[in-house]
């Protein structure tokens, strides 16, 4: 037996609209996601000078790096619920503003405790962006 499809054919208006949306939205989202990937590796590059400047041991640096993923894990489900409540448009704007502020605040880290706080807060923003990116 041949499989039958219950889907209605896609109209030309829908096809044109989706093409325009893709050309306007996807390049911006791809650039944002590229920045997210670069940002993920920044702590490793910064450690070359930062560990010596702040007097961080390898154990302190490793713990600070792991806080990023710990907060990512904690916030993933609540972030998804908030995304559904507020919508991707508002959520992506909020994410980019807070992510930029927290990333800029990382420049003012003075020691291990402030590094812990900033890495935790930065990791808290990451699942928000990933989920909003996937939902558009």
pLDDT tens digits, 101-121: 988 898 899 999 999 999 899
pLDDT-above-90 percentage for the chain: 10
Mean pLDDT of 10-27: 85
Query: What is the Cα–Cα distance from 136 to 116, expressed in whole angstroms?
Result: 32
pLDDT tens digits, one per residue of 67-77? 888 888 888 88
Give 129's pLDDT tier (boundaries 50, 70, 90): low
The answer to whether the pTM exceeds 0.75 is no
Mean pLDDT of 94-99: 85
Burial of 82 (0-12, 13-18, 19+ CB in 10 A): middle
* Token pair recorded at residue 15: 């096809």
* Residue 5: predicted pLDDT: 57
Nearest residue to 54 via CA among 127, 131, 114: 114
Q: Where are the beta strands (DSSP E) in 4-80?
A: none
Report CA-CA distances (Å) from 102 to 9, 87, 116, 126.
46, 22, 12, 11
* Residue 114: predicted pLDDT: 93
* Residue 113: predicted pLDDT: 94
């Amino acid at each position: 037996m041949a499989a039958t499809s219950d889907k209605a054919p896609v109209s030309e208006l829908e096809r044109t609209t989706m093409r325009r949306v893709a050309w306007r939205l996807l390049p911006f989202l791809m650039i944002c996601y590229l920045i997210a990937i670069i940002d993920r590796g920044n702590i490793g590059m910064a450690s070359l000078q930062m560990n010596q400047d702040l007097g961080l041991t390898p154990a302190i640096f490793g713990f600070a790096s792991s806080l990023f993923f710990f907060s990512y894990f904690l916030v993933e489900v609540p972030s998804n619920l908030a995304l559904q409540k507020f919508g991707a448009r508002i959520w992506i704007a909020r994410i980019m503003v807070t992510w930029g502020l927290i990333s800029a605040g990382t420049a003012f880290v003075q020691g291990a405790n402030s590094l812990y706080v900033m890495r935790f807060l930065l990791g808290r923003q990451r699942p928000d962006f990933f989920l909003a990116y996937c939902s558009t």
